[in-house]
Structure 1
Amino acid sequence: MNDFIYKKYGGITALSASITDFSYKKHSHSEYAIGVTRRGIQHYHLDGHLQLSYQNGVMLFNPEQTHDGMAHDDSGLEYVMLYIEPHLLLEAVERREIFRFSNPIIYNKNIQYHIINLAKAVFKQENEHICDDLFIKLADSLIGYDTCDKLHGQDSLIFIIKDKIRSFSKANLRIDMIAEEFSMSKFQFIRFFKSQTGMTPYQFYLNCKIEGAKEIIEKERDVYSAISEYQFVDLTHLNRQFKKIYGLTATDYSRYMN
C-alpha cells in the first residue's frame, strides 16, 4: 500500500507518505527538502552515495540535489517532508546567498519537532500567522544547529548549462546544439553534466518539465494547461512521468490542490 498526501501553504509544500513497494526515480527538486522518517528506514542515493535514514532521522536535501528513494525493506516506510522555496528559507534565516546543508541526515529532536509541527499546521491549513511562526522556529533551529555551508561542490559552468536546458522545458531538447554552444561534443556534454549533477541532461530536462507542470497545476488547478504548455503527449504521459517523482499522478495531485 502506497499513500501520498500533499498540501501547500505559500512557498511550502508538505508531504505525508507511506510506502511499501514504491520507488522514486532519480530526480531533483528546485526547493530545499526537509523531512523526518517516522517509521521504517528511508533508503536513497544522494549524489551517488547511499543514505539510510532510520526512525526520527532528519533528512536534508539541497535544491537540485539528485536523489531517488524507497523503503529499505518489506516493513515499509512512513515519513513527512517539507519542500521550501529557496527565497523563502533565505529570507527566514536572513541570508542572501544560497547555502547547502552540510550533512544529509542528522538526529536532532528539536529540529524534528519543528518539522513535524509545521507539517501538521500546513496539512490542517492553519492560519497564516501560525504557519509563519512555526516556519521561523524551524529556520532558527536549522541555523542554530549549524547545518549549513556556503554553496560549493559544482563547477560554476553547470549552473549556466542548467539554465540553458530549462529554457527548453517548453520545447524539444536538442542536446547536440547545446553541447556545441559550450564547445563540447554531444557525449562530452552528457558526461560532464552527469559528473556534476548525477543526472543526464535529458533526465534533468524531464525533471524541469514535470516541475513546471506541477507549478501550473498548483496555480491554475488544471492538468490540461500543464500538458499543453509543457508539451506532454497526453494526460497518460504526464501522469506517468509525474508519478515517478511525486509518488502520485498529476491528476491526483491536482485534487489535493483544490
Structure 2
Amino acid sequence: MEQFIYKKSEDILALSASMSDFTYKKHCHEEYAVGVTLRGIQQYNLNGSFQSSHRNGVMLFNREQYHDGSSYDRAGIDYVMLYLRPELVSEILGSKELRFNIPIVYDRWLARCICSLSEAVQTGQEESLCSELLLSLIERLAHTSADTAHRMDNRFVERAKEMMMGSLNQVLKLEDLSNEFGISKFQFIRGFKQHAGISPYQFFLNCKVEYAKRSIEQTKDIYAAVAECGFFDLTHLNRHFKSMFGVTAYEYMSQLN
C-alpha cells in the first residue's frame, strides 16, 4: 500500500513514505531535500546518472535538482525526507548555501540526525526541540557538503526562469520566451534543456505545482491554488501534484491541519 504522510513544523516539512508500485515523475524542489532509506532499495535518475540508495543510505538533493524515483522491486521501500528552505540554511550557515557533490552517503551520524528531526516533526514535538535538531542537522550537512560556494547558473537559463516564474497563472508561451532571446522556439527548447537538464514545459509545470503547494500551506484553500496557478480544474492540479508528492492536493492539505 502506498502511503505518503506529510507533517509541517514552523521551519520544516517532513515526509514519511512507504511505496512499491508508485513512481515519481521527473521533478525538483526549491528546497534542499535530505532523506534516509529505511527499508528496501530506492532508485532514481539524477543529473543523467542512475542512483540506488540501500538501507541507511542518506540521499542528498541540491535545490532545483531534477530527479524521479521508484522502488527497486515490489517489496517496496520505506524512507523519510526533510525539505529545508534555502533562506533557513543561509541564516544558519551565514549567507552560504549547501552544495552536495555526492548524491548518496552512508553516514550513520547524519542518518540519525535526519531520522531524529523527522520523528520530532511527525510526532508534533515542541518547536524548540525541532529547532535544536535542525541546527545540528544543517551543521552536519555543511561538513558533508564539499562546496558551499554560491551557485552560478547560466544567464540564459536564469532569465528564462524569471520570465516563467512571473507568469505561472498563464499558459506557457514559448514564442514570447524565444523572442526575448532572438531565437526560434526550437532553439530555445534545446538550449534550455541543455543547461537546465529539463524541458521548459517540465520546469514551468514543476514551478506551478510548487507554487500551488505553498499556496495550500498558507491559505488551506485548494481551489484558490487552482486559480492562482492557472490549472484547468482541481483534477488537473491533483494529477500533477500527486506525480510529484505522492498525494493529491486535497490529501496534502488535510495532512497539514
Q: TM-score band, normalised by the shorter chain?
A: over 0.9
Q: Which position in structure 1 is the counterpart of 2:143?
A: 144
Give yes or no for the alignment of 1:60 onto 2:60. yes
**Structure 1 Cα separation of the partners of residues 230 and 124 of structure 2:** 33
State the Cα distance separating 1:92 from its structure 2 match.
1.6
**Structure 1 Cα separation of the partners of residues 211 and 60 of structure 2:** 23
**Structure 1 Cα separation of the partners of residues 121 and 191 of structure 2:** 39
State the Cα distance separating 1:153 from its structure 2 match.
7.1
Q: Which position in structure 1 is the counterpart of 2:128?
A: 129
**Structure 1 Cα separation of the partners of residues 100 and 182 of structure 2:** 33
Give yes or no for the alignment of 1:75 onto 2:69. no
1:25 partner SS: strand
The one-letter amino acid paired with 1:55 is R
State the Cα distance separating 1:168 from its structure 2 match.
1.4
Q: Which position in structure 2 is the counterpart of 1:214?
A: 213
1:169 partner SS: coil
**Which stretches in structure 1 are left out of the alignment for 5+ residues?**
none
Report 1:42-191 matches (<5 A). 42-94=42-94, 96-152=95-151, 154-191=153-190
State the Cα distance separating 1:177 from its structure 2 match.
0.9
Q: Which position in structure 1 is the counterpart of 2:27?
A: 27
**Structure 1 Cα separation of the partners of residues 156 and 57 of structure 2:** 34
| Deviation sequence 1:97-116 (CA, Å, 0-9, x none) | 43421111111011100000
State the Cα distance separating 1:49 from its structure 2 match.
1.1
Structure 1 runs (4+) greater than 6 angstroms displaced? none
Q: Which position in structure 1 is the counterpart of 2:17?
A: 17
State the Cα distance separating 1:143 from its structure 2 match.
1.8
Report 1:220-231 matches (<5 A). 220-231=219-230
Give yes or no for the alignment of 1:193 onto 2:192. yes
Q: Is residue 89–residue 97 contact of structure 2 (8 Å, CA) maintained in 1?
A: no
**Structure 2 Cα separation of the partners of residues 145 and 98 of structure 1:** 12
Q: 1:236 to 1:171 in 2, by over 3 A?
A: same
**Structure 2 Cα separation of the partners of residues 21 and 153 of structure 1:** 37
Q: Is residue 102–residue 149 contact of structure 1 (8 Å, CA) maintained in 2?
A: no
State the Cα distance separating 1:44 from its structure 2 match.
0.3
**Structure 2 Cα separation of the partners of residues 64 and 106 of structure 1:** 20
The one-letter amino acid paired with 2:170 is A
**Structure 1 Cα separation of the partners of residues 228 and 141 of structure 2:** 37
2:17 partner SS: strand
The one-letter amino acid paired with 1:185 is S
1:101 partner SS: coil
State the Cα distance separating 1:160 from its structure 2 match.
2.1
| Deviation sequence 1:80-135 (CA, Å, 0-9, x none) | 000111010121222x2434211111110111000000011111121111010000
Q: Is residue 239–residue 249 contact of structure 1 (8 Å, CA) maintained in 2?
A: yes
1:244 partner SS: helix
The one-letter amino acid paired with 2:200 is P
**Structure 1 Cα separation of the partners of residues 128 and 152 of structure 2:** 37
**Structure 1 Cα separation of the partners of residues 253 and 178 of structure 2:** 36
Number of aligned residue pairs: 257
| Deviation sequence 1:220-256 (CA, Å, 0-9, x none) | 1110110111121111111111000000100100101
1:45 partner SS: strand
**Which stretches in structure 2 are left out of the alignment for 5+ residues?**
none
State the Cα distance separating 1:152 from its structure 2 match.
4.6
State the Cα distance separating 1:186 from its structure 2 match.
0.5
Cα RMSD of the aligned pairs, angstroms, is 1.3
1:150 partner SS: coil
Q: Is residue 47–residue 197 contact of structure 1 (8 Å, CA) maintained in 2?
A: no
TM-score (norm 2): 0.96
Q: 1:147 to 1:202 in 2, by over 3 A?
A: same
The one-letter amino acid paired with 1:198 is G
